[in-house]
Structures are given as structure tokens and as C-alpha cells.
Amino acid sequence: MKADSLAPAPPKGARADWTIDQGWQDYTAEDHQVWLTLYERQAALLPGRACDPFLKGLEALDLHGLGIPDFAKLNRKLGALTGWSVVAVPGLVPDEVFFDHLAHRRFPAGCFIRKADQLDYLQEPDVFHDVFGHVPMLTDPVFADYMQAYGEGGLRAMKLGRLHNLARLYWYTVEFGLLETPQGLRIYGAGIVSSRGESVFSLEDPSPNRLGFDLIRVMRTPYRIDDYQQVYFVLPFLQRLLDDTLQDFGPVYAKLAQTTDIPIEAITAADKIFTRGTQAYARSDGLKQSS
């Protein structure tokens, strides 16, 4: 971490870069069972829904195993494939700490696992979201480079006061991105593949808009963290992420400073429309209604 950074100090027991030991031997049988239950549910849903790089990554990393993966073993496979590693952190970490890890090809993962009565929706990422959701895509060379570049870009966006815009890019790609394939739309976003409900909703529900990915458009669109998304952005192919983001964002941020946000459910004349959503789910109060 940089000496001039104003990041809060790490919690007690964590290292200066906020990492901790995973403590794999301390997981209980019940913890491993939660992983296995979540794993089985997603493994049944994702063929034909998740994109090939995700499914291949899942296979290559052998993530079902005996329950919650041991990061040390996982890192031997992941490191050999793309030079990425997973590091354990206590929970959410400050932005600059997060970006610095990404810029060095380290993915910070929470190591706690949700309880058996919280299988369906969590706002704080646990090890299932972080590892099952995020790590398979890090086996893809293009996506692996994108994530590293994003970390570097994050540090820069903070200095330029544009983090709110860059965070939307992460949200609508890394967390909730869809990919166009000859077989139809497929999921690559970690927030979707780690959620049973959203794995179906994002592709099949008539409610959300599904729009073509456009860098500036995405960075003008707010997002919600409390329920399924109202809009998903569709990439024509993964390389497009790198092609669009390797450019200097200085002029991009300057342009953004001249624009206003686009309301979350809006469709603009410039949008490529895959689905014009009904927004019925969002108007029905969504998850709040069922709880």
C-alpha cells in the first residue's frame, strides 16, 4: 500500500495489506455443507446459462472438491493458468487496498461462509460469492488482464475523483455482466453466477432491460445493491472489455463530467436493445415482497 494513502488501518490480526490466513482447518462440517449445497444448486443451473470461460474455469480449478476450497491448493492451479492468486481478507476492504491487490493479480476473498438459512441473497460477499463467483473467470487470459488493468485504473480514478463512475463499470461487468454468444446470452458476472435466483432472472425474466455494452453509457448508470438488477449490459465478446478499457480514461472522465446520470430503468435512443424490460419485478418491490 502507498505511504501517502489515507486508508484506515487494517483490523487487528490482519496484515498491513489487510490479508489474513484463510484458516481452512477451522471451517466446520456445517460450513463445508453450505458450500456443497450452494455448489450443487449452481452446478445444476449454470450449464447453458454461464458462458464457456466460466464453466471451463470451474472445471480447471476443480472447485467442488470436498467443500470450501483451500486457497493454497486453489492458488497452485490458478497461478499456473494466469498468474492470479486468491488472498484471504476479513470482509470488505478499503478501495485503495482492493485496487492494489487487483493491480498485482491478487483477488481478495472473504473467507467466512453464509449460514444455512441465508442461502439466497447476501449483500456482503462471502467465500462462495468471492471464490465460486469470481475465480473461474480469472482463468481466462483476457478477463485476467482486464481485472489487473481495472485495479490500476481504480487507483487512478480515486485520484481523479471519478471512482463512482468506475465502480459502475465493475458492477455491470465483473459482477453482473452478460455475454452475447451464437447460442444466446450467457452470464459471466460473479454476482449472477453465485445467485440461484438471479442466474435465472438475469437471462429469462421479462422485467429487466438487457442492453448492449457501451463504456460511457455504463459509467452513467447507477445500480442497486439490495435486489436483482433492473438493467444488464451485454458484451459482444470478452475482448471488447479490454479493447474499450485499455484506452486512457482521462478524456473519458472529462466527457463524463459533462453528462448526467441515466435513470436506472431508462432506455436511450443510442442503446442496442436485447430486451425492453417490463420492470414489473422492480415495481412489485422485488425481494422485499417475499421476505
Among 235, 242, 243, 245, smallest CA distance to 210 is for 235
DSSP string for residues in 159-173: HHT-HHHHHHHHIII
Q: Minimum Å distance from CB 194 to ligand PHE?
A: 22
Give the angle 278-283-287 at the CA atoms, nearest 5°: 110
The enclosing H or E element of 109 equals strand 106-110
Q: Does an H or E element contain 209, and which?
A: strand 209-212
Rounded distance between C-alpha atoms, residue 36 and residue 8, angstroms: 35
Residue in the block written with cell 490480526: 13
Q: Please, which of residues 182-241 interact with Fe ion by CB under 5 A?
A: 190
Between 58 and 215, whose beta carbon lies closer to ligand PHE? 215
Please confirm, yes or no, whether 194 is among the known catalytic residues: yes
Give the footprint of Fe ion on residues 117-136 (CB under 5 A). 125
**Nearest in space to 112 (alpha carbons), one of 18, 8, 24, 214:** 24
d(CA 89, CA 21): 8
Nearer to Fe ion, 135 or 190 (CB): 190
Q: Quick one: 155 or 190, whose CB is closer to Fe ion?
A: 190
- Binding residues among 68-127 for Fe ion as defined by CB under 5 A: 125
Q: Which is nearer to ligand PHE, 156 or 272 (CB)?
A: 156
- The residue among 10 and 125 lying less far from Fe ion, judged by its C-beta, is 125
74 neighbors 132 (Cβ within 8 angstroms): no
Task: Determine whether 129 is an active site residue.
Answer: yes
One-letter amino acid of 236: P
For residue 259, the minimal CB distance to ligand PHE (Å) is 17
Instruction: Tell me the β-bridge partners of 50.
Output: 187
Least Å distance, CB 250 to ligand PHE, is 7
- Binding-site partner at residue 267 among ligand PHE, Fe ion, none, CB < 5 to 8 Å by type: none
The distance of closest approach from Cβ of residue 256 to ligand PHE in the complex, given in angstroms and rounded to an integer, is 12
Closest approach, Cβ 149 to ligand PHE, in A, equals: 4
Active-site entry in 134, 180, 202, 207: 134
Choose the contact partner of 149 out of ligand PHE, Fe ion, none; CB within 5 to 8 A by kind: ligand PHE
- Binding stretches for Fe ion (CB under 5 A): 125, 190
Point out the residues that are catalytic: 129, 134, 175, 194
